[in-house]
Structure 1
């Protein structure tokens, strides 16, 4: 690899609370306030019922498993994860929410072991234990030397991009946003006098223009801008037209990568104006094993995304996606048939790109393998279909 490129590792939701927290060395209070589950250890038992015993307590590296080897081999310049967990000992369950995630602060090595450069916090779980829980989360991450984006003690902090210097001389700037469509309550929005998340109420042209103005103020020559957005529903492959247009507006305004997350499985990929748009990266780490109901989406399969861009322009060069499988709350290599399934699925749902399945099971996407955009994506008709 030459100094003229920058490689980014990105993934979807990293949920280290609830059952995951219970198998680590310092489990917090297992009490839950869910309709059907009152004890977080029940999620451990569900995982064990389908894939066998988990040797708790596990070391911090257990959760990441094969992903740590991939990171060691790829040596990305910058790693970005969506941390969908509060890190707190608080018992102040946010009212009106059906699900709450928290990890005990003493278990933070389960995050730092993967050496992420930026933890995105603009999501619908970071305030599950109120603003005191958010403060403890921010303090814990700061003490651990981890940068955050998308939440803060004020709006200025929440909307401030995380800046990661890279060897090419510029910075990777990560601006994180949380959309109402992902279930983030409007009351969680940070203000000048109140902590919270970098909240966007909708995906309108007006909201996009405000984000673009931030990009233009912060971007300098040699910088690469990643806009990380928590948006959309949990299940399904179609991408709403307003989301597509919002992503395109971000790219038109200077974003070099749109890193979308919230869905429990990978969603379509597109390349727009030589920039990569990941509409949904899917879950990466969680305690969802043994939960039935959406088997057709294969949410046991996860993707590690390695994106290479030109250092001087941010132009998309290639994307390598490595399928992994979650078993016993650990990421492991997948059988070839699972990589084939993931390839066929992404190829089917991504209207404008054509990933290639490599012999080692990696999915490779290069700009030369784009398809012409369908008519609906070339039109401005608001009735157009989605990806």
Structure 2
């Protein structure tokens, strides 16, 4: 695989879940009402205090770029053509909390510039939190993002809109099409699925041959020569490094029969293995990129505080380079991971990537570079 720093083609920025609600919303310039409906926590301000107890000072209020921390430097260095995140937060002032749901994330619409501060081009919304504040919350989320010039994928006013890809033009290079789906095993209630006249998410009923045929038709209806197709999937449980045979088979099917070029998986709270199949990258789980979980114990062995910024470069539909920058969430911002964290991420990716024929190597102080054996390409 080519490792030229100036490899031709289109470079993407991808990451896992970006959660700017709850505690993070409270430290931004325009915090919404902190009321929560969790079994043990009734105010989002509790999460701010937990972070302070765990990590020390968390300033309040902060400016909009604050939450990105060192990630802004990594973005500047990588200079990706398109920046895509899974936004796991409703952008709304709605009071209509989805009944019976234990966790509700929202960020006040006036805090939307914190997303624009990182130059994000597309927010994937097919996940288990975009409808936390009801249909009004989803409507306000879509309107807020579109008004800011940020494309969306995976949710919409009806099934047609939810299934439609974001179409992102890269001048002189082509287009990036972002399709997005969410599955029930990631915590998405089936009733959140968009319908003929009902808003919702682009719900994937199962990782089946029938689903692949539907996706193949949808991609074929839009994809033109030279387009780069990203399939963004909110799938699987929160914890555990295993990649199921069903997930792997489905990811391969997306590439083989649906002409997908990049599989962007998320939902797991930690990074998972990477595979390169027929020259296409499969990110099985990108982890949590940003959240307000500091001070919440459990699953320490999975290191949910550590994350990666993924920068795949593809030319003529094949991966030529996959660089990654290692980060750690501290003080409600994405900081460069310390040396032990970088080593842990490298060792974890190498352990989980061994069955897929991939390994990673250090590329500078904070960065990793994917290496693929002949079998992986």
Shared fold (TM-score greater than 0.5)? Answer: yes
Question: Shift in Å at residue 212 of structure 1?
Answer: 1.5
Aligned residues: 370
Q: Distance in 2 between matches of 1:75 and 1:45?
A: 35
> How far apart are residue 4 of structure 1 and its match?
3.7
Within-5 A mapping of 1:197-276: 197-252=201-256, 253-276=258-281
Contact 1:356/1:363 (8 A) holds in 2: yes
Cα distance, 1:229 vs. partner? 0.5
Q: Distance in 1 between matches of 2:298 and 2:30?
A: 31
- Match of residue 155 from structure 1: 159
State the match for 2:339 in structure 1: 336
Provide Cα deviations, 1:82-110, integer angstroms capped at 9, x if missing partner: 00000111111101211000000000011
Q: Deviations over 1:35-61 (max 9, x none)?
A: 111110000111111111111001111
Give 1:380's aligned residue.
none
* Contact kept? 1:301, 1:323, Cα under 8 Å: yes
CA contact (8 A) 2:7 2:320 kept: no
Contact 2:336/2:366 (8 A) holds in 1: no
Deviation at 1:183, TM superposition (A): 1.0
CA distance in 1, matches of 2:371, 2:279: 10
Where structure 2 has 5 or more consecutive residues not aligned to the other structure, the ranges are none
Report how far residue 330 of structure 1 moved. Answer: 1.2
Q: TM-score, normalised by structure 2?
A: 0.95
What secondary structure, in the 3-state scheme, does the structure 2 residue paired with 1:354 have?
strand
1:278 aligns with one of 283, 287, 290: 283
Check conservation: 1:340, 1:361, Cα contact below 8 A. no
2:349 is equivalent to residue 357 of structure 1 = no
* CA offsets 1:315-362 (integer angstroms, 9 cap, x no match): 011111111111110111222221111100110012211111224231
Please provide the CA RMSD for this pair.
Answer: 1.4
| Residue 99 of structure 1 pairs with residue 121 of structure 2 | no
Q: Secondary structure at the match of 1:292?
A: coil
The 5-angstrom pairing of residues 284-299 of structure 1 reads 284-299=289-304
Hey, what's the Cα distance between the residues in 1 that align with 2:33 and 2:64? 19
1:144 maps to 148
For residues 273 and 100 of structure 2, the distance between their equivalents in structure 1, rounded to whole angstroms, comes to 31
Q: What TM-score, normalized to structure 1?
A: 0.93
1:107-131 alpha-carbon deviations (Å, 9 max, x no partner) = 0011110111110000010000111
Aligned partners of 2:88 and 2:130 also within 8 Å: yes
Identify if the C-alpha distance between structure 1 residues 214 and 74 changes in structure 2 by more than 3 Å, giving closer, same or farther.
same
Mapping of residues 1-387 of structure 1, within 5 Å: 4-252=8-256, 253-310=258-315, 313-350=316-353, 351-352=355-356, 353-367=358-372, 369=373
Tell me the SS of whatever aligns to 1:126: coil
Once residues 359 and 81 of structure 1 are traced to their aligned partners in structure 2, the CA distance between those partners, rounded to angstroms, is 24
Report SS of the residue matched to 1:218: coil
Distance in 2, matches of 1:2 and 1:48, equals 42
User: Could you tell me whether the CA contact under 8 Å between 2:16 and 2:85 is conserved in 1?
Assistant: yes
SS of 1:291 mapped into structure 2: coil
Instruction: Pick closer, same or farther for the CA change 1:22–1:178 going to 2, 3 Å.
Output: same
